[in-house]
Amino acid sequence: MNLSAIDFWILTASLIVASTPILLAGLGELVVERAGVLNLGVEGMMITGAIAGFATAVHSGSPLIGFAGGAAAGAAMSLIFAVLTQYLLANQMATGLALTLFGLGFSALVGQGYVGAKPPMMGKLDLGPLSDIPGFGVAFFRHDLMVYLSFAAVVAIWYFLSRTRAGLVLRAVGENHDAAHALGYKVVRIRILAIMFGGAMAGLGGAYLSLIRVPLWTEGMTSGAGWIAVALVVFASWKPGRLLLGAWIFGGITVLQLNLQVAGVQIPTEYLSMSPYLITILVLVVMSAMGGRKAKGAPGALGRSFHATH
């Protein structure tokens, strides 16, 4: 066992890369849930985004176009969910689970020709002297564009939800859709837009996995990242800032267990691979034991179907 091989700053850098996919998908799901919709199809939308992003990047030769393709595919998947739950009033839980299963199967089918293909690489963003800061620069200023965009998204979504009128309306819809309807807000339209935003973000997260984090296409490569993103939203009490923190914790555990495996810690690797998911369950149990719905900040209308009666 050689723990000294683990460098803190390099660990931090890989932690950020590992947490970006779940951060992106989690931010999308946060907005969706703030609008009162529980979309459990994040995993399915992520993997669809992963293969769509991979395929567009391979064909176009541009990773940026690949990310756009991933986002578009995620949004398209979420539109299925939106139509089923918002117009046909299908159960949100069941529809979300179906979306996950469908996404996993569909991506495996589409991805058959891409196994072993090599995507175009995305260069690191040149931040000049910042990247040369010892330690800190290694950890924070040697990343690709998407990492910085995901940080910007945290701030933008926080600002949108807490400071803008549109964000207030979205929260109102998620809190009490009947009251929002009575005040004349378009509940269904707002929710569909939120769902599609969530789909696009999940697609981006998936594309980040297949284009940068791995970068390869393999069947089922999200391996539960979508579920971790859903759990993260609860962990974060539906607040963007805490979501970033949570994503880093989970990303950190993932990276750390890989490093520990490499360092040869005397724990069977199966236990180490399990650890991020065990921690997820643990956190959720602790969170729900800590207080009622109000303390956790869950939107009042979360998961409830809305049908205008007048």
Partner 1 sequence: MIYGLVQPDAGQMVLRGAPYHPHRPSEARQKGVAMVFQHFSLFDALNVAENVALGMENPPPMGELAGQIRKVSSTYGLPLDPARLVGDLSAGERQRVEIVRCLLQDPKLLIMDEPTSVLTPQEVEILFRTLRQLSAEGTAILYISHKLEEIRSLCDTATILRRGKVVASCNPREKSARELAELMVGQILTPPARAEHTPGELRLEVSGLSVASPNPFGTSLKNISFQLRGGEVLGIAGVAGNGQDELLLALSGEITTQAGRVKIKGQPAGNLGPNERRALGLVSAPEERLGHAAAPDMSLSENALLSGNLRQGLSSGGFINWAKVETFAAEIIKAFDVRTPGTHVAARALSGGNLQKFVLGREILQNPDIIVVNQPTWGVDAAAAATIRQALLDLSAKGAAVVVISQDLDELLEVADSFAALNEGSLSALRPARGLSVDQIGLMMGGAHGLPETPALAPKPEEARL
Please tell me whether residue 290 binds partner 1 under the rule CB under 8 A: no
Please tell me whether residue 303 binds partner 1 under the rule CB under 8 A: no
Question: Taking contact as CB under 8 A, which single stretch among the options 25-33, 71-79, 196-204, 289-297 is the one that binds partner 1?
Answer: 289-297
Among positions 115, 130, 183, 274, the unique one binding partner 1 when judged by CB under 8 A: 183
Among positions 116, 129, 134, 292, the unique one binding partner 1 when judged by CB under 8 A: 292
- Structure-token match 């005397």, residue found: 266
Please tell me whether residue 172 binds partner 1 under the rule CB under 8 A: yes
Please tell me whether residue 171 binds partner 1 under the rule CB under 8 A: yes
CB of 181 to partner 1, least distance (A): 8
Among positions 300, 303, 304, 305, the unique one binding partner 1 when judged by CB under 8 A: 300
Distance, in Å, from the CA atom of 45 to the CA atom of 205, rounded to the nearest integer, reads: 9
Please tell me whether residue 179 binds partner 1 under the rule CB under 8 A: yes
Among positions 65, 133, 169, 214, the unique one binding partner 1 when judged by CB under 8 A: 169
Please tell me whether residue 266 binds partner 1 under the rule CB under 8 A: no
Q: Which parts of this chain interact with partner 1 (CB under 8 A)?
A: 165, 168-169, 171-172, 175-176, 178-180, 182-185, 292, 294, 297, 299-300, 310
